[in-house]
Amino acid sequence: MRSPPHTAARRGAEPPTTASLELRGSGQPSSFLIFLFVRFFGFDFLSASVAAKVVNVACNVSALMWFGYSGHLLWQLGLMMAACQICGSLIGTRLALKHGSAFVRKLFLVVVSLLIVKTGYDGFIR
């Protein structure tokens, strides 16, 4: 089994920043959490999305504390990304409240499908 290209290139390098971790695709754990909340805990998609966001924020705060303590943060990039995430979450929240759980379910399926295609591309074609 071959290792992903970014793993081989990073051996011996500095630890990644939270910003670089976000750029690699933080949507995957959140989508997985939504699936788990819906499948195993009986949440609807809207409630599962909210619960996944709470878990995601807690993980981001802990990563910020960890990398901040070790001094491996790109503050300008991180603050710009945080501002964009806040804008995106406000837009997403308004859309979810306006259109309901059916809209969130459809959007979730589209995003998961795109992630599957991207993972397949990264794993087999690239």
Task: Tell me the DSSP string of 39-87.
Answer: HHH---HHHHHHHHHHHHHHHHHHHHHHHHHHT---HHHHHHHHHHHHH
- Are the C-beta atoms of 25 and 115 separated by less than 8 Å? yes
Tens-place pLDDT, residues 65-94: 888 888 888 888 888 988 998 898 899 889
Given a cut of 50, whether residue 13 has pLDDT beyond it is no
Interval 88-107: pLDDT, tens:
889 988 988 899 888 888 98
Structure confidence by residue, pLDDT tens digits, 39-60: 999 998 888 888 888 888 888 8
Looking at residue 27, its pLDDT comes to: 54
Q: Are 10 and 16 in contact (CB under 8 A)?
A: yes
DSSP assignment letter at 123: I
Give the global pTM.
0.53
